[in-house]
Every structure is written in C-alpha cells, then in structure tokens.
Amino acid sequence: MPMNLICAVKFVPDPERFTAGSRGLILNPDDTCALGVALDVKSRDPGVTIEVVTLGPLSVRPHMEDLLRLAVDRGTLIWDPGLENSDAFVTSRVLARYIAGRACDCVLTGSHSLDGGSAQVPAQIAESLGLDQMLGVIRIDPDRFDRTRAVFQAVDETGVTTWEMAMPGVLSLTRESGYNLPYPTLTDLRRDVSEKLTILTSRDLGFSADQVGRAGARTRVAGSSPVTYGEKDPKIVGTDDDGITQVVDFLKKKGVCR
C-alpha cells in the first residue's frame, strides 16, 4: 500500500529581501528539502499521498497554494489571532494534535528554521505523537522507505551515519541533503487549487484560549541586550604576491594561522 506522507513546514522571512517594512516570505530551506524528498518518493510511486501542514498567518496562503500546484495532494493552514506569540512548545502541540488525526506513515520536517534554529519543534512533535525522530537527515534510501521502515543517512558533529527506523516516525531533513522542489508547469501556475487547501483554527483542534499564544507558551525571555557592530574597514588586495602576503599577515594578526 502506498505511503501517506505529511510535511510540516514553516514560512520564514526571506533574508535576501529582509529590509525595513518588507515581509517577504520563503519556504524554510530545510523544509524545502523535506517536501523535496516527499515529491521524490511520489515521483517513483504516484500512489503516495502528500499533505503539507503549516501554522502561520493567513498571509502565507498564496505560498501554500504555490506548493499545492506541485504534486501535493492536500494543504492545511492553521491560524487564528489567538495563535500569535506561540512558542515552539505551543506550535508543536498544535501541529501534533492535527497530525494525530490524520492517516500518516511518516512525518517529514526540516531540522532547523532560518528564524529560530533551536530544532525543538520536530522533536516535540515526535514526543507528542509517541514516535521516534531523527535530525540532520541528508538522504533517505528510496528503495528502503515504506510503511514499516526507513533507511537513511544523518549527519552530526561526528560524521555521517546510516540508520534504520521503524515507521511511522519523524524524519527531519537538513539543507545539506540537496533535495529540491520541481518547477511547476505554466499550466499549473494558473491552476486554481483553493479546493485543496483547508484553513483551521486552534479551536477547531480543541484548544482553549489559555493553551495557545502567549498564555500557553512555556518560553520566558529572561532578558535581552542590543547587538552592536563596529564599523567595517574593507580592504581590497590583489592576487599577486603582495596581496597574498597581506592576507597571510592579516590572518596571523587575528590568530587564525601562524
């Protein structure tokens, strides 16, 4: 029987367009790889179903619809004003409760997000669902990925290791995996996909007001301090011997080399 895959994704500020007053969003790079591997699996077995779920403001709806113009079967956007200021704990609880009600053989996520990087949400989703989870996945063996098991490679500070995990489980991809999204065809760019997108609120999932947003958050900011940057003094050197000598002297001065 073909697999049912759920990709939990996040849309983050585009660092290349992040200026004052700009709210340009992109799909988080690690999450792009998670969806990329799901689409790769589906390209080998068209019977595979892919659902994308995100927690975020309604402004991400056009971005979700862009994903639905790929070979994605269903999209779910969870949002209401009460979810504002939700931390990783609340976010993972909401996503996990939704996923628990879906037929799912594997949850695919990114390992880190550009605007956070804590890697807490994937692990907390897995904990809430009672599933095993692995961060830093760089490759999933397509010939050994089914409803019962997944064989994959993951990277950490010690190197790359091959693992086998019983399914269902949570696999968190990293951008080093190199999985990409296909380009939609011109016909798909114009396709109305609104019927494939469901919008839910926290109340639809049975959460009360004191369980979400700032009221339900477990993260407390102990303090903050401004980051200050000194003025940069760029120096352009040539590729001749004199330029190389200047670079070496600079690195020695900074203690990078001897």
Range of the domain at 208: 4-216
Does residue 241 sit within a domain? no
Does residue 95 sit within a domain? yes
Angstrom distances, CA of residue 188 to CA of 15, 17, 99, 153, 191: 27, 26, 27, 33, 5
Distance CA 110, CA 33 (A): 7
The pLDDT of residue 238:
80
CA 196 to chain centre: 21
- At residue 229, does pLDDT exceed 70? no
Lowest mean pLDDT among 8-17, 99-108, 137-146, 172-181: 8-17
Does residue 205 sit within a domain? yes
- Give me the CATH number covering residue 46: 3.40.50.620
Does residue 226 sit within a domain? no
The helix/strand/coil state of 231 is coil
The pLDDT of residue 222:
72
pLDDT digits (tens, 9 = 90+) for 6-39: 999 999 988 776 554 446 899 999 999 999 999 9
What pTM, to 2 d.p., does this model score?
Answer: 0.83
Does residue 14 sit within a domain? yes
Residue 52 has phi, psi (to 5 degrees) of: -110, 130
Of residues 229 and 49, the one with the higher pLDDT is 49
Q: How many domains does the chain have?
A: 1
Q: Which parts of the chain fold into alpha helices (H)?
A: 29-44, 61-68, 88-100, 120-129, 186-189, 213-216, 241-253
Cβ-contact 38, 7 below 8 angstroms: yes
Does residue 122 sit within a domain? yes
Cβ-contact 218, 89 below 8 angstroms: yes
Cβ-contact 172, 34 below 8 angstroms: yes
Does residue 224 sit within a domain? no
The mean per-residue pLDDT over the stretch 52-71 comes to: 96
Of residues 174 and 236, the one with the higher pLDDT is 174
Does residue 230 sit within a domain? no
pLDDT digits (tens, 9 = 90+) for 135-146: 999 999 999 999
- At residue 98, does pLDDT exceed 80? yes
Distance CA 153, CA 180 (A): 17
The pLDDT of residue 23:
63
The pLDDT of residue 184:
85
